[in-house]
Amino acid sequence: MPEAASLIAADAVGTDSEAACGVVYVYEAPVRFWHWINALAILVLGVTGYFIGRGIPTMPGEASANFLFGYIRFAHFAAGYILTVGFLLRIYWAFVGKPHAAQIFYVPVWRKSWWSEVWQEILWYAFVVKRPKKYVGHNPLAQLVMFVMYTLITVFMIVTGFALYSQGEGSDSWQHKLFGWVFAIWPDSQDVRTWHHLGLWVIVVFAIIHIYSSIREDIASRQTIVSTMISGERIFRDDQRD
Amino acid sequence: MGADIETFYDVIRRQGVTRRSFVKFCSLTATSLGLGSMGASTIAHALETKPRVPVIWLHGLECTCCSESFIRSAHPLVKDVVLSMISLDYDDTIMAAAGHQAEAILAETKAKYKGRYILAVEGNPPLNEDGMYCIVGGQPFVEKLKWMAADAAAIIAWGTCASWGCVQAARPNPTRATPIDGVIKDKPIIKVPGCPPIAEVMTAVVTYVITFGHLPELDRQGRPKMFYSQRIHDKCYRRAHFDAGQFVEAWDDEGARKGYCLYKMGCRGPTTYNACSTVRWNNGVSYPIQSGHPCIGCAEDNFWDKGPFYSRLTNIKQFGIEKNADTVGMAAAGVVGAAVVAHAAVTAAKRVARGRNGNGSSNDKQTG
C-alpha cells in the first residue's frame, strides 16, 4: 500500500482507527525476536517449574550417577535469567520503539473511549457485535488481558522467582539483597512457593487465551494477527474507517 | 555497679580455679588473640568487674518445650550457663521461689538493673479479651510482658511461639495469640524460632550476648545469622539424592529404605531456616530427616497452616479443603480450555452459517 508510509507517521496508539488500513509495519524486529524467545523461555519455565513443584519419578542407580533434578532446576534458572533479561530489554524497547511497543506495559484507564472500546470488544467476543473494530496494535481488551495476565504476572514471577533463587544463593548474594524483601511479606518461603506455583497456572491460562484469541482474530477479524508477530506487518483486509 | 551480683572472676574462683591459673588464662587468651602487652590486664579487669548478666525468663502461652530443650544443652552444658554465665533471676517453671516471693523478684530486677537485664520470653501473649486467656501471677501475661520489656536491654524470643505465633496462633487463632514483635516495638528482639529451638542454639545465643555484650548479627527476620542463615536443605546429607532426582515416594518403599530425599513426602527442608542439619539434636545424634521423617518446618512462620505436612504443595484455604496450587491451576486451565473450545465452536458455527464474508468485513474485500 503506497499510503501506508504516511499513515505510519500518524500512527499513535490513541488514533489507531485512522491508521488501520493497508499494510502497517507495527512490530519491529526486537519485539518479534523477544516474543518468540520469551515464549520459548516460558515453555521451559512452565514445564520445569511444574516438575520442581511436584518432584519427578525416582531415578534408578546411585546418586552419583544421576543429576536429573539438578538439570531440571538448572534449565529453570537459566530460562528464568533469559526471561528476565529479555523483559528488561523489552522495557527498554517500550521507550525507544514504536508507540505500540509500549502497549503491554500500561492500561489507559484515564481514556474514556478506551473503556467503551473494551466493552465493544467484550460484545464482539460475546457474539453480540457483528463487526469488530480495527486496530494497528492490541485491541483494548487484548491490552487489558496482556497487561494483567502477562506483564504483571511476569513481574510477579521474576520477583518471587529470584527471591526463591536467592535462598540457594545465600543471604549475601545480590539476588537476596535485591529480592529478599519478598520474605518480609511472606516470612515463610513455602508461601512464596505456593504463589509462584499459582503464577505458573495463571500463565498457562493466559497462554490458552492468548493463542486462541490470536488465531481466532486472525481468521475472523479485519486484520492479520499471527503473521504479524512473524513479519511485523499488520495487513488490513478492508480500508473502511469503521 | 552490680556489686552484689557475682562477677565472672568470682564464678571462676568458686569453681576452684586459682588466681595464678586465672592470670595465666588471661595472658594466654590475650596472646592468642594478638591483643598486645596490655591485653591480659584488660581481660582480667573485665572478668573481675563485669557482673553476670541478669536474665528474666517469662512464660506466656507455651508448652515449655523450649525450656525442655534448653536444659538438654550439651555444648555448653546448661548448668554452666545457668550457674556460671548468666544470673537467671526469674523463671517461674524452674525457680525455687513461688508466689509473692517469686513475683517480687521481677519488680526488684526491673528497678535494680534498669536497661541492663535480658528478657527471655518463651511463648506469646494472647490479645483477645484484654489478654485474659493467659494469666500469670494474677495478671494478664501481655501486661506483664510490656511491663518487663520496658526496662530490658534486649528481648530473646524463644521458640516459634514467641517468634511467629506457632500452634496457638494457627487458624483461626481464637485467643489472638501474637508473637512478641507484634506487641513490643521499641526493643531489640532476637528471634530464636523452632518448636523447640535446638538446645545448643539457645545456649549459644545466650553465650554470645553475654560474651560480647550485644546481640549477634540478625537477618531480615530478626533471627541470628549464625544459626538461621541457611536452610536445612542447604546442608542436608540427603541433598545428593535431591539433585539426582531420587525421592521417597511412600513410607515403606525402596527409596525410604535407601535414605532418599524426602522432598516428595512434603519435606520443608527447602523452606526452613534452622541449624538442624548441622548442629543436629540430642548432643548431635540425629535430626528428623536423618531418622527418615520429613522436616515439617517448625521454625517457620505459620507452619501449622501450611499443611498437609506430607505433601509438597501447600493447600490453599481460600479454595476449600484439600486444594493445592496444582488442583486450583488445573481446574482453572480446564475451565478456560473448555470455554475456549466452546467459543471456537460457536465462532465456527456462525461463520459456516453466515458465509466467509459474513463476519463484518463487509462485501468489498481489499486484500482478498
- Burial label for B367, CB within 10 Å (0-12, 13-18, 19+), is middle
Q: pLDDT band for position B17 (50/70/90)?
A: confident
In this structure, are residues A239 and B367 in contact, taking their beta carbons and an 8 Å threshold?
no
Interface touch A131/B360, C-beta < 8 Å:
yes
CA distance A215 to A198: 26
Per-residue pLDDT, B356: 63
In this structure, are residues B158 and B190 in contact, taking their beta carbons and an 8 Å threshold?
no
Tell me the chain A residues in contact with residue B270 when contact means C-beta distances shorter than 8 Å: 167
Provide the 10 A C-beta neighbour count for residue B33. 10
Q: Which long-range contacts (CB under 8 A, 24 or more apart) does A160-169 make?
A: A160/A192, A160/A195, A160/A196, A160/A199, A161/A80, A161/A196, A162/A80, A162/A84, A163/A189, A163/A192, A164/A189, A164/A192, A164/A193, A164/A196, A165/A77, A165/A80, A167/B231, A167/B270, A167/B271, A168/B234
Those of residues 292-321 in B touching chain A at CB distance below 8 A are: 297, 300-303, 306, 312-314, 316
- Candidates A58, A141, A183, A217: best to mutate against B (most CBs of B within 10 A) is A58
CA distance B248 to B251: 7
**Of the spans B97-101, B306-310, B341-345, which averages the highest pLDDT?**
B341-345
Per-residue pLDDT, B60: 95
> Nearest residue of A to residue B253 by CA position?
A58
Which residue type does B275 have? A
Provide the 10 A C-beta neighbour count for residue B88. 20
Those of residues 120-179 in B touching chain A at CB distance below 8 A are: 164
pLDDT at B318 over 80: no
pLDDT in tens, B40-67: 888 888 888 877 888 999 999 999 999 9
B141-149 and B99-112 helices, crossing angle to 10°: 30
Average pLDDT in the A126-142 region?
90
Per-residue pLDDT, B368: 34
Per-residue pLDDT, A7: 38
Tell me the chain B residues in contact with residue A72 when contact means C-beta distances shorter than 8 Å: 245
Which candidate from B220, B225, B244 shows the least CB-CB separation from A59? B244
- Burial label for A210, CB within 10 Å (0-12, 13-18, 19+), is middle
DSSP B70-127: HTT-BTTBHHHIIIIIEEEEEETTT-S--HHHHHHHHHHHHHHTTTTEEEEEESB-B-
Query: How large a percentage of chain B has pLDDT more than 70?
Result: 94
pLDDT at B112 over 60: yes
In this structure, are residues A11 and A27 in contact, taking their beta carbons and an 8 Å threshold?
no
Per-residue pLDDT, A16: 62
Q: pLDDT band for position B357 (50/70/90)?
A: low
Tell me the chain A residues in contact with residue B241 when contact means C-beta distances shorter than 8 Å: 63
Per-residue pLDDT, B123: 95
Average pLDDT, chain A: 90
Q: pLDDT band for position B81 (50/70/90)?
A: confident
Per-residue pLDDT, A1: 37
Which candidate from A69, A188, A238 shows the least CB-CB separation from B243? A69
Per-residue pLDDT, A18: 59
* CA dist list (Å): A104 to A8, A96, A100, A146, B125: 20, 14, 8, 6, 49
pLDDT at A106 over 60: yes
pLDDT in tens, B264-277: 999 999 999 999 99
CA distance B318 to A95: 40
Q: pLDDT band for position B188 (50/70/90)?
A: very high
Class of domain B232-306: few secondary structures
Q: pLDDT band for position B236 (50/70/90)?
A: very high
Per-residue pLDDT, A9: 36
Query: How large a percentage of chain A has pLDDT more than 90?
Result: 79
In this structure, are residues B270 and B233 in contact, taking their beta carbons and an 8 Å threshold?
yes
Per-residue pLDDT, A2: 38
The three-class DSSP label of residue B10 is helix
Q: What is the CATH number of domain B53-228?
A: 3.40.50.700
Better-predicted residue by pLDDT, B247 or B89: B247
B120, B300, B266, B292: which is closest to B194 by C-alpha? B300
Is the bond leading into B76 cis (omega within 30 degrees of zero)? yes
Say how many residues make up chain A: 242
A189-220 and A29-54 helices, crossing angle to 10°: 140
A25-63 in b/e burial notation, b at 16+ Cβ within 10 A? bbbeeebeebeebbeebbebbbebbbbbbbbeebbeeeb
Per-residue pLDDT, B364: 42
Which candidate from B249, B306, B365 shows the least CB-CB separation from A238? B365
Per-residue pLDDT, B321: 62
Sign of the Cα torsion B350, B351, B357, B362 reads positive
Task: Tell me, yes or no, if B217 comes closer than 8 A to chain A by beta carbon.
Answer: no
Tell me the chain A residues in contact with residue B265 when contact means C-beta distances shorter than 8 Å: none
Average pLDDT, chain B: 88
Pairing of strands B117-122, B139-140: unpaired
CA distance A147 to A152: 6
Q: pLDDT band for position A70 (50/70/90)?
A: very high
Q: What is the CATH number of domain A4-235?
A: 1.20.950.20
Where do the CATH 4.10.480.10 domains begin and end in chain B? 232-306
ipTM: 0.87
Which residue type does B283 have? N
The three-class DSSP label of residue B3 is coil
Average pLDDT in the A198-218 region?
95
Backbone angles phi, psi at A10, to 5 degrees: -85, 5
To which residue does cell 525455687 refer?
B96
Per-residue pLDDT, B49: 83
B201-237 in b/e burial notation, b at 16+ Cβ within 10 A? bbbbbbbbbbeeeebeebbebbbbeebbbbbbbbebe
Q: pLDDT band for position B10 (50/70/90)?
A: confident
Average pLDDT in the A229-239 region?
91
Query: How large a percentage of chain A has pLDDT more than 70?
Result: 92
Task: Tell me, yes or no, if B363 comes closer than 8 A to chain A by beta carbon.
Answer: no
Average pLDDT in the A70-79 region?
97
pLDDT at A14 over 80: no
Q: Where are the domains of chain A?
A: 4-235
Q: By mean pLDDT, which of A37-46, A82-91, A121-130, B176-185 is the weakest?
A: A121-130
Interface touch B336/A54, C-beta < 8 Å:
no
Tell me the chain B residues in contact with residue A236 when contact means C-beta distances shorter than 8 Å: 366-367
Those of residues 52-111 in B touching chain A at CB distance below 8 A are: none
Task: Tell me, yes or no, if B355 comes closer than 8 A to chain A by beta carbon.
Answer: no
Per-residue pLDDT, B13: 85
Chain pair A-B, CB pairs under 8 angstroms? 168
Provide the 10 A C-beta neighbour count for residue B328. 20
Distance of CA B51 to the CA centre of its chain: 29
pLDDT in tens, A145-181: 999 999 999 999 999 999 999 999 998 999 999 999 9
What the block records as the C-alpha cell of B361 is 468485513
* CA dist list (Å): A64 to A68, B78, B241, B246, B254: 11, 41, 9, 11, 18
Per-residue pLDDT, B40: 86
Sign of the Cα torsion A92, A96, A98, A99 reads positive
Q: pLDDT band for position B207 (50/70/90)?
A: confident
In this structure, are residues B294 and B288 in contact, taking their beta carbons and an 8 Å threshold?
yes
